[in-house]
Structure 1
Amino acid sequence: MSDREERLPGGNVTAGVVRIGNTVRRPAGPHTPAVHAFLEHLHEAGFTWAPRPLGVDELGREVLSYIPGSPVHPDRLDLLDSDQSLSEIGRLIRAFHDAAAEFVPPPNACWQVAIPDVGADLIVHHDIAPWNLIGSGDRSWTLIDWDFAAPGTRLWDLAYAAHGFVPLTADPSATRPNPARRLRVLVDAYDLDEGQRHRLLDLLPQRTRAMYDLLAHGADTGTEPWATLWREGHGRTWGANTDYIADNAAWWRAALLDE
């Protein structure tokens, strides 16, 4: 393969992501060794729907295996229209969390934490969403952008995923028919028990509100990239979606609890 650098699209948070041959190079940070140890563990545990870590290059960039396919967001959201796709995503998230539960972080592991979780039971992704999902022609999926992997909880991670994949949005141009049923499909595939479903219902608006708060704080303090994202209108979107989720709590409850 050519050693020519090809800049890859996307990346609201991490700039300077390039492809060289069958690898992706990204800016490294203090969190990179822990994230690479985590990704290596996932592959050893049988979770192969993530890039392989390949060390650091001569420019100090982290090196990951290149995953062929297309980002689902923004141009291939049609891949998520079917119940089959939602079920696959739900099972993928469950398989990831189950594999992550056996991970023992290296001593003095450093993680990049943007939003504190409600707990710290295991290492989770913290940004499972269509913009971090690669879909290939054979309907296989790969989760990318693991920079914010850090201690957290299954349900906080799943609540964020539900926002993006159902999606739980106030934007009529982005919504899918019957979002309550789609939420049920995703959660059934993940296989939550009744108590976990009650807890998830509480977390759905909290997790979305946490994104709004992060962007608002970034705007107040001038912290990047959050300040720029706020100026671009992302704060309004997360705020509107938080209100939408809270206002329609009865829909989600009826869908998840058979009430």
Structure 2
Amino acid sequence: MSEEAALGGNLSDAVRVGDTVRRRAGPWTPAVHALLRHLEAVGFEGSPRVIGIDEHGREVLAYIGGDGPTGWPDPMPQYVWRDSNLIAAARLLRRYHDAQAGFTPPAPATWRWPSNAAEVICHNDVAPFNAVFRDGELFAMLDFDNAGPGRRLWDVSMGIWRWVPVYNDSDPTVRDRAARVRLFCDAYGLGPERKEVIVALLDRQKAGREFARDQVARGDPGFAKIWSWFPNDSYLLEAIAYTKAHRDELSRDL
């Protein structure tokens, strides 16, 4: 059966084979598969379904139909930035956090992303480029490869970074971004800890840069490809600088 490029796939060389997606596996795959099977068992519908491992050692997931914009080299479609999708992303993340409660990782569990706490199993890469849309509306979240134990606020801050988004481009304005930060927090149902979400975002951006640099140094082909698009850490360094410069404004409505 023929293979074709699947939704996203920048980091994992994902290909579609019939009704399945084949992706590069790693030491973290058994723990991630256990998590995905738990999500399926409790009825969470916003994540991939595990089929197994193929003869080439790749993980096999059920294909989820829809649109999966990557945002590079082509920009994200404008429908991604609708308020309805920002709200849907926050609510989907909250449902995921609720659904993972009660999950017991296999022992010993290997996770790709270094643990910074054990409040929840974070997705760690909540973003439009890891999402499936149907008719312009968010349907599911993809790419759990970076999942691992962490703080709930860590995942929320990642969602804010990518879905608001908090970048150094000129549109939307800082004021509009601050309103969308508030909207994301409200839709997620974040409590008083929302006051710390921009501090967490800055920490998350810095950690993301260090994680990416480490993966490139380890020879990860997916991260090496992404890194080649943004020489000298330019993309992440600019994002960090933007958040530092506007942290008070971004926190204004919280």
| TM-score w.r.t. length of structure 1 | 0.87
Counterpart of 2:100 in structure 1 is 100
> Which of these residues, 160, 172, 179, is aligned with residue 176 of structure 1?
172
Q: Is 1:79 aligned to residue 79 of structure 2?
A: yes
Q: Distance in 2 between matches of 1:160 and 1:10?
A: 18
Structure-to-structure mapping, 1:194-233, within 5 angstroms? 194=192, 196-216=193-213, 221=217, 223-225=219-221, 226-227=223-224, 229-233=226-230
Q: Tell me the percent identity.
A: 36
SS of the residue corresponding to residue 255 of structure 1 reads coil
Q: Distance in 2 between matches of 1:117 and 1:80?
A: 30
Counterpart of 1:250 in structure 2 is 248
Deviations 1:169-215 (A, max 9, x none): 0022xx43511111111110001111x11221321111112222334
Question: Post-superposition shift, 1:239?
Answer: 0.8
SS of the residue corresponding to residue 252 of structure 2 reads helix
Q: Distance in 1 between matches of 2:248 and 2:211?
A: 27
Q: Distance in 1 between matches of 2:39 and 2:84?
A: 24
> Which of these residues, 21, 26, 30, is aligned with residue 24 of structure 1?
21
Deviations 1:14-60 (A, max 9, x none): 22x21111110112222222211110111222211111001112222
Structure-to-structure mapping, 1:26-65, within 5 angstroms? 26-65=23-62
Q: Distance in 2 between matches of 1:218 and 1:103?
A: 27
SS of the residue corresponding to residue 140 of structure 2 reads strand
- AA matched with 1:23: T
Counterpart of 2:109 in structure 1 is 109
- AA matched with 2:112: Q
Q: Distance in 2 between matches of 1:228 and 1:52?
A: 27
> Which of these residues, 118, 131, 134, is aligned with residue 133 of structure 1?
131
Write out the 4+ residue segments of structure 1 that deviate beyond 4 Å after TM superposition: 216-219, 225-228
RMSD: 2.1
- Structure 2 residue runs without a partner (length 5+): none
- AA matched with 2:202: P
| TM-score w.r.t. length of structure 2 | 0.88
Distance 1:109 1:240, change over 3 A: same
Q: Distance in 2 between matches of 1:37 and 1:222?
A: 25
Q: Distance in 2 between matches of 1:93 and 1:78?
A: 21
Counterpart of 1:160 in structure 2 is 158
Q: Distance in 1 between matches of 2:46 and 2:94?
A: 12
- Structure 1 residue runs without a partner (length 5+): none
Q: Is the 8 A contact 1:117 1:156 kept in 2?
A: no
Q: Is the 8 A contact 1:70 1:136 kept in 2?
A: yes
Q: Is the 8 A contact 2:124 2:146 kept in 1?
A: yes
Q: How many residues are treated as equivalent by the alignment?
A: 247
